[in-house]
A and B are shown apart, each in its own frame.
Chain A
Amino acid sequence: MSSISNQPSPPLAVEMHDIVIRFPGVLANDHVNLTLKRGEIHALLGENGAGKSTLMNSLAGLYKPVSGVIKVNGEVVNFNSPRDAISKGIGMVYQHFMLVPTQTVTENILLGLKEPRFFVNLSIYNKKIQALQEQFGLRVDPSAQIWQLSVGEQQRVEILKTLYRGANILILDEPTAVLAPQEIDDLMKTMRRLVEQDKSILFITHKLNEVTAVADRLTVLRKGKVTAEGIGIEGVTREKLAELMVGRKIIFQVDKKSQKPGEVVLEVKNVSALNNKGFPALKNVSINLHQGEILGFAGIAGNGQSELAEVITGLRSCSGSIKINGKQVANQPPGKSIDIGVSHIPEDRTGVGTAPNMSITENTIMKNYDQEPIGNRWKINFTSAREYATRLKDKYEILAPSISTQARKLSGGNLQKLILAREISCCPSLMVAVQPTRGLDVGAIEAIQNLLLEQRENGTAILLISEELEELLSLCDRIAVIYEGELMGVVEAADANLTNIGLMMTGSMRSQA
């Protein structure tokens, strides 16, 4: 056990020893060890569901380990709540930001603190926070409300929140997942600056290039177990890392056959739309999509991608024209685009894509319950519905006890397979897929990506919205970049330049095309 330190050399900021965390039916962390030296950046790697977030949540005081020892700065700690962890100088930036959208930056930073005791004079604290911003170079308007801020700014608020609490051990959970390449560079500079000022950082990721760019050491988790503990980053290859994370060699290249796109399926012309807050989300977007083509949409979250998917599928009103196979669908009810043959993999699997308390059967017939043989004008033939569901379950390898299992009991990957199975089966001409692989493990990602490519070969036109640039580059024929609702340009995936895409994603460049 290299982690047990009796030598005087640099004291450890964090020492997690033999940690076991159990959820009903799952062993999330299985005797995990992890050390964080003072002043280092330590990368924690693993695929989705490997137990990284769980381990870090236990360090942040949110979960209690069943057994194991946590030491912070050499002292054994026993956290009963996040407050205890905060008092020991631990600050966590969650992947899904923990910010109150209707409160200001300052209010968010002050939440949960003992000071101010009762009256809150925001202007005094605005100044304090500005001073903190100067120190670490994290600019954001303290009196702005969170919902008005960009994702990058919100992340800065999260970091400021931990710093204001005097954190010297920072945990960043997948901080780069939502950022554009240039923003990632900024974040890494910030991380370096923090380490220079004697902070220590634990940094969860699954991207090797980020690890080599910024980390000193790394630890890898797979299925709750440590597969590499605190190794230096020298000489670690991408393949080696992938094997440590997944447990087998994986092929990074997906098998995309070259094929000529066919007729125009989707014609978007001068489309503008508002977001839920009533601000412009899409500005004059025009684009075409052909049969057998995958058109990717790159952009930082919240730049109009979701709204684009919604106007095409009839879930949001807009101005301009949207034609699918020559038929106008703009401002038509969602049923219309379904009839024309538009399938939709929604961003929010549980909130939009499925009915959580209904069975797999009832979820698979969501788009064709009114068509023979499953249903007619009056009734639903549940016998044929069950046959249909069984067929889809077998064909798409949806793992579940039975077809009468409730959708909410499915894992993320199986839920996504269910949605894909349903959508592929019902509406063949155009598929709008929003973040289809987000949060899934490697096996599920492979399965989903192959299904998309299969659809492409069958001649379906696919609009793929994703925040994973790598995914877009490997799957798409063309990539469109969107920034603040405007189309910055469209590039051929084959000769795409990552830097240029990054610049377009942040609005600093517009392609000539």
Chain B
Amino acid sequence: MKNPFTLQIEKRSEDIPKWLPLVTSLGAVLVAFIFSGLVLKMIGGQPLRVLGFFFTATFGSWGVFSDTLVKATPLIMVGLACSLAFKMKLWNIGAEGQFYLGAFFASMVVLVPLVPPDSPKVVVLTAMVLMGMIGGALWGFIPGILKAKYNVNEIITTLMLNYVAIYWNNYWIFGKWSDAGFQMTPMFEKTAWLPRLSDYAKQFNALSGITLHLGVVFGLIAAFVIWWIIERSRWGYEIKLIGDNPKAARYAGLNISRNIILVMMISGALAGLAGMAEVSGVVHRLQERISPGYGFSGIIVAWLSKLNPFAVIIVSILFGALIVAGREIQPSGIAFLLQGTILFMVISSDVLLRYKIRLVRYNEEKA
């Protein structure tokens, strides 16, 4: 075997500089953009124009920036859901399904209805928030208990439950709750709408058309809460310990099964809250495809943020922009491609944090 050169990997023994993770992540995103641009070029697109369009369509004015933030809102919550679970090395790939269940449960409040239709807004919205979280938590509980009690691989179960959740939703919007045969429910009463900035356009003219809704505040609060849990709380310590070495955690007297179920439920509840915010803050009804894959993007958001709750907010805005732009950019798969490439580049770049890599020419090594 005479390679012209070999990849020589050396373990880093010293502490890594603080700026390095940020630099490698930014570098990874940059490389991902270049790669996707090349693919686009290959099929005859104009990557630079698309890039220019990308920026004007997402950050070009207050209006479009608000759209970007609206898309970022569910991503923040779903990204946090994934971050929490991943901290424990619990692979919750089911945020998409938990999102749908959250949306469904929140819609139940209005459509069953669970509270009298003429209840005040506060009551309706509170009930929707609670139900949304319960729905998501339920969808997290199932894989959680299967993992805890029967050691069933949670990757597969959460993924399968995504499909189940979508069909479940379809059953209701095509059937029972269908609005005159359309694939959607009737529009909710205004009492079930999350307040939006545009609601105050009468007082402040500048706010007209700004559709940013209260859900983004849920996301910010959730980010703070999750940060506190992970960094300050006793439970967060347990989560990190289980994530780093489950055998050591058991040895230290932790109840791993209970923690698996709890984390799956909280993670699911966050994704469910995102679903609630989407039906109550954006679409105002339950319908097909309420999520353009938020649950999956959340996985990438979490990883790109290195599981840091505050970084999740920033990354979510970038990905929100991707979704906004992706609606208009043709071909439609390009946003998906970009996301996949970004994640790939990020995990590849992680190796730079752990190892120093050098290319060594074969004869050089011999010498």
- Please give the residue numbers on chain A whose beta carbons come within 8 Å of chain B beta carbons, in ascending order: 24-25, 80, 313, 315, 333-336, 338-339, 344, 346, 348, 351-358, 362, 365-367, 369-370, 375-380, 382, 401, 409
CB pairs A–B below 8 angstroms (13 shown)? A334-B252, A338-B252, A358-B240, A358-B241, A362-B237, A362-B241, A366-B241, A370-B234, A375-B237, A379-B232, A380-B232, A380-B236, A382-B232
A367–B252 touching, CB < 8 Å: yes
Q: Chain A nearest CB: distance from B211 CB in Å?
A: 38
> Is A353 touching B233 in the complex (CB atoms < 8 A)?
no
A144, chain B: closest CB distance, angstroms: 29
Contact check, B244 vs A409: say whether CB atoms are below 8 A apart.
no
Residues B13 and A346 in contact, CB atoms below 8 Å apart:
no
Kindly state whether residue B204 has any CB partner on chain A within 8 Å: no
Q: Are B11 and A367 in touch, CB under 8 angstroms? A: no
Q: Within 8 Å of chain A (Cβ to Cβ): is B254?
A: yes
**Once bound together, how far apart are the Cα atoms of A355 and B244, in whole Å?**
6
How far in angstroms is the closest Cβ of chain B from A316?
Answer: 11
Complex Cα spacing A336 to B255, Å:
11
**Chain B, range 205-238, C-beta contacts under 8 Å to A:** 232-237
Q: A355-B244, A358-B240, A366-B248 are in contact. Are A335 and B234 (CB under 8 A)?
A: no
Q: Is B150 an interface residue (CB 8 A)?
A: no
Residues 84 to 124 of chain B near chain A (Cβ within 8 Å): none
Task: Give the docked Cα–Cα distance between A29 and B68 (Å).
Answer: 60
With known contacts A333-B253, A351-B247, A355-B241, A369–B13 Cβ distance under 8 A = no
The residue from A338, A353, A362 contacting B253, defined by CB atoms under 8 A apart: A338
A252 vs B10: C-alpha distance when bound (angstroms): 40
Asked whether, in the complex, the Cβ of A409 is within 8 Å of the Cβ of B241, the reply is: no
Given contacts A335-B254, A351-B247, A353-B248, is CB(A409)–CB(B13) below 8 Å? yes
> Bound state CA distance, A378 and B235, in angstroms?
7
Known contacts: A370-B234, A378-B233, A380-B237. The answer to whether A352 contacts B248 by CB under 8 A is yes
Question: Complex Cα distance A488/B250, Å?
Answer: 31
Dominant SS at the B interface?
Answer: helix
User: Within 8 Å CB of A355, what residues of B?
Assistant: 240-241, 244-245, 248-249
Identify which of residues 232-288 in chain B touch chain A, using a CB-to-CB cut-off of 8 Å.
232-237, 240-241, 244-245, 247-255
Given contacts A351-B245, A355-B241, A358-B240, contact A346 B251 (CB under 8 A): yes
List chain B residues, Cβ under 8 A from A24.
10-11, 13
Contact B250 A369 (CB under 8 A): no
What is the CB-to-nearest-CB distance from B257 to chain A, in angstroms, rounded to a whole number? 10
Neighbouring B residues of A358 by C-beta, 8 Å: 240-241, 244
In the complex the two chains form, is A375's CB within 8 Å of B255's CB?
Answer: no
Instruction: Please tell me which one of the listed residues A333, A351, A380 contacts residue B233 in the complex, with CB atoms under 8 A apart.
Output: A380
Q: How far, in whole Å, are A69 and B92 apart by their CA atoms in the complex?
A: 54
A315 to B11, CA, bound (A): 34
Closest CB of chain A to B86's CB: distance in Å? 14
A334 pairs with B232, CB closer than 8 A:
no
Extra 15 A-B pairs, beta carbons < 8 Å, given A358-B240, A358-B244, A380-B233: A24-B11, A80-B1, A315-B250, A334-B251, A338-B252, A338-B253, A352-B247, A353-B248, A355-B244, A365-B237, A369-B234, A375-B234, A376-B234, A378-B235, A380-B232
Closest Cβ of chain B to A359, distance in Å, is 10
Tell me which of B241, B251, B255 contacts A315 (CB under 8 A).
Answer: B251
- Interface-central residue, B233, B237, B247, B252, by most chain A CB under 10 Å: B252
CB of B317, distance to nearest CB on chain A (Å): 29
Residue of A nearest to B231 (CB): A382
Collect the chain B residues with CB atoms within 8 Å of residue A315's CB: 250-251
* Contact B244–A366 (Cβ < 8 Å): no
Question: In angstroms, how far is the closest chain B Cβ from the Cβ of A469?
Answer: 27
Given A344-B251, A352-B247, A367-B252, A25-B13 contact (CB < 8 Å): yes
